[in-house]
Amino acid sequence: MNAPVSSADALRAALAGLLDGLPPKAAAQAVERLIANYRGRTPTDAPVLRDRSDVAAYAAYRMPATFEAVRTALEAFAAAAPGWVPGGHVDVGGGTGAATWAVHATWPGERPVTVLDWAEPALALGRELAAGHPGLRAARWQRARIGQALTLESTDLVTVSYVLNELTPADRAALVDTAASAARAVVIVEPGTPDGYARVLQARERLVAAGFRIAAPCPHGAACPIAPGTDWCHFSARVSRSSLHRQVKGGSLAYEDEKFSYVAAARFPVAPVPARVVRRPQIRKGQVLLDLCETEPALRRATVTKRHGDLYKAARDADWGDAWPPADEQRR
């Protein structure tokens, strides 16, 4: 019997046909412009994705990275809310639908799904890519202006990924408030930059003020213990590169690491981790250094040595973004 195809593999397969007909030069030019928008600081009131060439370049270059970042955030949320499964999902500013694929990867099964975006070419391609996915082919792809005039129907889960950086401060605040009023759970993902973290932190504050409980990545719902301007909270997801991705970026590696910041919150009880690894662990001879955000709230560097036995083995296997201690150690 053949093993079931994962959502990540299904997404790569759906993108493969798209890449076959994409002229490399046109794709490279479109990707360069999209990178400038992605990294830029100037909000725009016009769609970033203008036509099919732009959308195809975006799907090839950004969709796998967005998928992996959102899936990582959703997995952390799911661990804090075991047994909870969203009955419906609205993806705001979802473009070609990477977050909808990530939601299905986290909670398989069919559910009402609506993707909202102001770029019709992105919605059209997203619909095309999802047509072959049993859990997504019935999704609604709806054009909407993302901003203060946006209204949302009640739903279980709202995702907002890589959208806040495209909005004015007033539109960002309005979007977070609208999501909070409509959903039982909200997950927001932004680029893992100081500015991206600042936008996530502002959204986190609004969600807490609206009565939401923080599920991840924070072990607490209190103020972030990072002193403003000294550092920023972000994480990393491993992304497999497509051939176009490697060609455009001039790289030879088959993967790259996507840096992202996020917050996941819910109106229902959640169980955040006791602590989370917030930097890549440093493995040295006979010891592992772990930078932790803890429940207090506080930031602390923990040193785990061989004399800690099984905990030392767990520390050597720990990764950036993991809960600490591991679940099996928490049960002991």
The CA distance from 67 to 280, in Å, is: 21
Asked if residues 324 and 277 have their Cβ atoms less than 8 Å apart, the reply is yes
Q: How many whole angstroms separate alpha carbon 307 and alpha carbon 287? A: 9
CB-CB contact of 165 with 196 (8 Å): yes
Please tell me the pTM assigned to this model: 0.89
Token pair 């785990």 is found at 304
- Sign of the CA dihedral with 234 first, then 236, 242, and 248 last: positive
CB 185 within 8 A of CB 77: yes
pLDDT tens, residue order, the chain (332 aa): 344 457 777 887 777 766 566 666 666 666 776 666 655 544 545 555 566 666 777 787 788 889 999 999 999 999 999 999 999 999 999 999 999 999 999 999 999 999 999 988 889 989 999 988 888 989 999 999 999 999 999 999 999 999 999 999 999 999 999 999 999 999 999 999 999 999 999 999 999 999 999 999 999 999 999 998 899 999 999 887 766 566 655 556 667 889 999 999 999 999 999 999 999 999 999 999 999 999 988 999 999 999 999 999 999 999 999 999 987 665 55
Q: For residue 226, what are its two tokens?
A: 């990072």
Fold of 7-266: Rossmann fold (3.40.50)
Q: Residue with structure tokens 């004399």?
A: 307
User: DSSP letter at 32?
Assistant: H
Tally of helices (H runs) and strands (E runs) in the chain = 11, 13
Q: Which amino acid is at 105?
A: A
What does the block give as tokens for 187? 């997950």
Domain residue ranges in the chain: 7-266, 275-330
Q: What is the pLDDT of residue 172?
A: 97
Q: Which residue has the tokens 């996507």?
A: 258
- Expressed in percent and rounded to 5, the helix, strand and coil fractions of the chain are 40, 25, 35
Q: What is the DSSP letter of 231?
A: -
Number of Cβ atoms within 10 Å of the Cβ of 319: 11
**Spatial separation of the C-alpha atoms in residues 185 and 194, rounded to whole Å:** 25
State the CB neighbour count (10 A cutoff) for residue 82: 8
Residues 199-226 as b/e (b if ≥16 CB within 10 A, e otherwise) read bbbbbbebbbeeebbbbbbbbbbeebeb
Neighbouring-strand partners of residue 303: 289
CA distance 201 to 194: 10
The per-residue pLDDT for 297 is: 86
pLDDT of 154 reads: 97
Residue located via tokens 């997995």: 75
CB-CB contact of 318 with 277 (8 Å): yes
